[in-house]
Amino acid sequence: MESPKKNTVRQGLLSVLRRLKNSPEQEVRILLLGLDNAGKITILKQLASEDISHIMPTQGFNIKSVQSQGFKLNVWDIGGQRKIRPYWRNYFENTDLLIYVIDSSDRKRFDETELAELLDEEKLNMVPLLIFANKQDMMMAATAAEITESLNLHTIRDRIWQIQSCSALTTEGVQVHTHTYLLYKLYLSIPLP
Ligand SMILES: Nc1nc2c(ncn2[C@@H]2O[C@H](COP(=O)(O)OP(=O)(O)OP(=O)(O)O)[C@@H](O)[C@H]2O)c(=O)[nH]1
Ligand SMILES: [Mg+2]
Residue 118 located in a structural domain: yes
Question: Does residue 110 form part of some domain?
Answer: yes
Whether 179 is covered by a domain: the verdict is yes
- Domain assignment present for 49: yes
Q: Is position 62 annotated in a ligand binding site?
A: no
Q: How many domains in the chain?
A: 1
Average pLDDT (136-161) is 94
Please give the residue range of the domain that contains residue 160.
Answer: 4-188
Highest mean pLDDT among 47-56, 135-144, 164-173: 135-144
* 57 in contact with ligand 1, CB cutoff 6 A: yes
Q: Which residues contact 185 (CB under 8 A, 6 or more apart)?
A: none
* Domain contains 78: yes
Pick from 32, 33, 35, 37 the residue to mutate for probing ligand 1's pocket: most ligand atoms within 8 Å of its CB: 37
pLDDT at 174: 86
pLDDT of amino acid 47: 86
The answer as to whether 193 is a domain residue is: no
Domain contains 95: yes
CB 61 within 8 A of CB 91: yes
Q: What is the pTM of this model?
A: 0.89
CATH classification of the domain holding 183 = 3.40.50.300
Task: Tell me, yes or no, whether 77 lies in a domain.
Answer: yes
Q: What is the number of H-type helices and E-type strands within the chain?
A: 5, 6
Q: How far apart are CA 181 and CA 187, in angstroms?
A: 10
